[in-house]
């Protein structure tokens, strides 16, 4: 395949699944070992005809063997020629077994060819059920497109069959059952990777320091410390949203101090019940250069103010974001940890949101996102980890998975990293008495293109601190 022409709703703050496609060349076809005869399946394909800017491979999978096949063990690969440097987005339009029971990711064959240097791999979750002998999945209607919606010429795609306007056996789409080849002929050397039935447990390892990493221990003297800017941070000033109208963003409310042996950044937000008296805080990277990988921070949320009456609709957050280039633009991305200690957005009490954004329109308001929430107090220190790879977004809190969001929300463009604390409105507390709230941050870690476990994050941070490293940024610019 090549180019044919050469905010917010109550409680919530979404991007089609993207994967980088690189063009390489090779030749030859490889027929792979088949699965056992009693685990035989056939893939029937038809061309869905989605237009010049989308590919539309539709499938049914039939059990032609003598034993029941769990669909969670079945994976299909549709091969195509990718445009150098392009990213692609996958979607399921309809499936008899349910689109929520399908997975899709893009990959690169082990030996790319002139007509197959990328593939779309489609799998099934346990919710898709099993195939009894003689049964099939029914329709699986998929599509994918370039993330920039440039036209596609599918004529050079290995798996493309323009004459297939009705379902029929198609051997240019491969299928495996439990990692063993069961159908089709793969282009040059694309051997399946078997999945062991009882994988050996491995202890977490400490990733090496020094490649594609941003680490900051926030060891600064204050908001005017030249090292803050030199290390790529911007402390926001002036006006503008989100938050209370007429509020200002106050750099002087961002402070740094030692707590024990660690340096801690504090974001202080204050108000006396009016927009003009409200001082909000935000710290963010000046560059948008962060995309796939691991984002981690140790953050202290607070349920009560440090002084004055409680009750304001406050947001304490750690998130990544890029700019909305147009209303409902599909290359927008934002991924949030947001804690509302006193409710807001229609919530009556404390609530924590993790939200993955595809896009939105400010006026009239329309949003596309996926969110997970917990309606319990989150007061205190928490280790927050977000991982982004080519298959999903995973949110972890204190070492445990909190949410896993779909691949269609993956980022298509680089983002910046933010911490902020702001007031949604002044309806939660109408007093004119001064009050102030604090959010604290112990460290920030980003590791490019690696989805680390929370244990690996902790080990990496400990390694930096044991080496006496307060800051490192080896993430290349976008």
Output the CA torsion 278→216→291→179 (10° steps). Answer: -130
123 band by pLDDT with thresholds 50, 70 and 90: very high
Q: What is the pLDDT of residues 321-351, one digit of tens each?
A: 999 999 999 899 999 999 999 999 999 999 9
Judged on CB neighbours under 10 Å (0-12, 13-18, 19+), 98 is middle
Whether residue 18 is predicted with pLDDT greater than 60 in this model: the reply is no
User: Given this model, what pLDDT does residue 390 score?
Assistant: 87
| Cβ atoms of 421 and 281 closer than 8 Å | yes
Whether residue 12 is predicted with pLDDT greater than 60 in this model: the reply is no
Whether residue 378 is predicted with pLDDT greater than 60 in this model: the reply is yes
Q: What is the mean pLDDT of the chain?
A: 87
String of b and e for 46-58 (b: at least 16 CB within 10 Å)?
bbbebeeebbbbb
* Average pLDDT of the segment spanning 195-218: 57
Structure tokens at 478: 């976008």
39 band by pLDDT with thresholds 50, 70 and 90: low
| Cβ atoms of 174 and 59 closer than 8 Å | no
Whether residue 210 is predicted with pLDDT greater than 90 in this model: the reply is no
Closest CA to 79 of 49, 55, 102, 63: 55
pLDDT above 90 as % of the chain: 74
190 band by pLDDT with thresholds 50, 70 and 90: low
Q: What is the pLDDT of residues 401-459, one digit of tens each?
A: 999 999 989 999 999 999 999 999 999 999 999 999 999 999 999 999 999 999 999 99
Q: Which residue has the tokens 């089709």?
A: 184
Whether residue 396 is predicted with pLDDT greater than 70 in this model: the reply is yes
Comparing 13-17, 56-60, 74-78, 337-341, the range with the smallest average pLDDT is: 13-17
Comparing 56-60, 83-87, 106-110, the range with the smallest average pLDDT is: 83-87
Q: What is the pLDDT of residues 348-362, one digit of tens each?
A: 999 999 999 999 998
Q: What is the pLDDT of residues 75-105, one digit of tens each?
A: 999 999 998 778 888 888 888 998 889 999 9
Q: What is the pLDDT of residues 149-166, one digit of tens each?
A: 788 889 999 999 999 999
Containing H/E element for 463? helix 454-466
In whole angstroms, give the CA distance from residue 13 to residue 352. Answer: 12
Closest CA to 183 of 193, 173, 196: 173
Structure tokens at 326: 């147009």
pTM of the model: 0.60
| Cβ atoms of 28 and 189 closer than 8 Å | yes
1 band by pLDDT with thresholds 50, 70 and 90: low
User: Given this model, what pLDDT does residue 146 score?
Assistant: 86
Grouping H, G, I as helix, E, B as strand and the rest as coil, residue 201 is coil
Give the other-Cβ count within 10 Å of 132's Cβ. 11
Q: What is the pLDDT of residues 228-269, one digit of tens each?
A: 999 999 999 999 999 999 999 999 999 999 988 889 999 999
| Cβ atoms of 121 and 190 closer than 8 Å | no
50 band by pLDDT with thresholds 50, 70 and 90: low
25 band by pLDDT with thresholds 50, 70 and 90: very low
């Amino acid at each position: 395949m090549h180019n044919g022409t050469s905010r917010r709703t109550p409680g919530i703050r979404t991007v089609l699944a993207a994967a980088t496609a690189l063009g390489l060349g090779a030749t030859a076809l490889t027929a792979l070992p088949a699965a056992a005869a009693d685990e035989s399946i056939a893939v029937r394909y038809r061309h869905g005809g989605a237009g010049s800017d989308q590919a539309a491979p539709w499938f049914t999978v039939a059990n032609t063997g003598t034993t029941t096949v769990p669909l969670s063990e079945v994976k299909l690969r549709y091969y195509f020629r990718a445009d150098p440097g392009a990213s692609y987005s996958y979607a399921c339009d309809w499936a008899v077994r349910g689109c929520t029971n399908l997975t899709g990711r893009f990959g690169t064959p082990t030996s790319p060819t002139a007509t197959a240097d990328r593939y779309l791999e489609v799998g099934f979750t346990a919710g898709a059920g099993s195939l009894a002998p003689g049964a099939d999945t029914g329709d699986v209607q998929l599509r994918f497109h370039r993330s920039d919606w440039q036209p596609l010429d599918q004529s050079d795609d290995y798996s493309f069959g323009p004459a297939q306007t009705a379902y029929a056996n198609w051997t240019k789409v491969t299928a495996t059952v439990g990692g063993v080849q069961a159908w089709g002929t793969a282009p040059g050397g694309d051997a399946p990777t078997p999945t062991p039935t009882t994988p050996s447990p491995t202890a977490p390892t400490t990733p090496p320091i020094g490649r594609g990493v941003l680490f900051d221990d926030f060891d600064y003297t204050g908001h005017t410390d030249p090292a803050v800017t030199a290390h790529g941070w911007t402390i926001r000033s002036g006006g503008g949203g989100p938050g209370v109208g007429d509020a200002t963003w106050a750099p002087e409310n961002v402070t740094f101090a030692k707590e024990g042996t660690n340096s801690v950044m504090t974001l202080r937000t204050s108000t006396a019940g009016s927009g003009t008296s409200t001082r909000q805080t935000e710290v963010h990277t000046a560059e948008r250069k962060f995309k796939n990988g691991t984002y981690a921070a140790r953050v202290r949320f607070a349920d009560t103010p440090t002084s004055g009456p409680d009750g304001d609709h406050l947001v304490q957050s750690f998130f990544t974001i890029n700019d909305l280039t147009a209303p409902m633009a599909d290359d927008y991305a934002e991924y949030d940890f947001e804690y509302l200690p006193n409710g807001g957005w229609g919530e009556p009490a404390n609530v924590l949101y993790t939200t993955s954004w595809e896009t939105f329109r400010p006026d009239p308001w329309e949003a596309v996102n996926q969110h997970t929430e917990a309606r319990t107090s989150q007061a205190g220190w928490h280790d927050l980890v977000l991982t982004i790879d080519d298959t999903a977004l995973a949110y972890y809190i204190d070492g445990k998975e909190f949410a896993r969001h779909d691949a269609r929300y993956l980022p298509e463009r680089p983002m910046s990293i933010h911490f902020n604390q702001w007031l949604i409105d002044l309806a939660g507390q109408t007093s004119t008495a001064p009050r102030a709230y604090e959010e604290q941050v112990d460290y920030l870690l980003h590791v490019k293109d690696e989805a680390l476990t929370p244990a690996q994050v902790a080990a990496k941070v400990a390694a930096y601190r044991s080496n006496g490293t307060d800051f490192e940024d080896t993430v290349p610019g976008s």
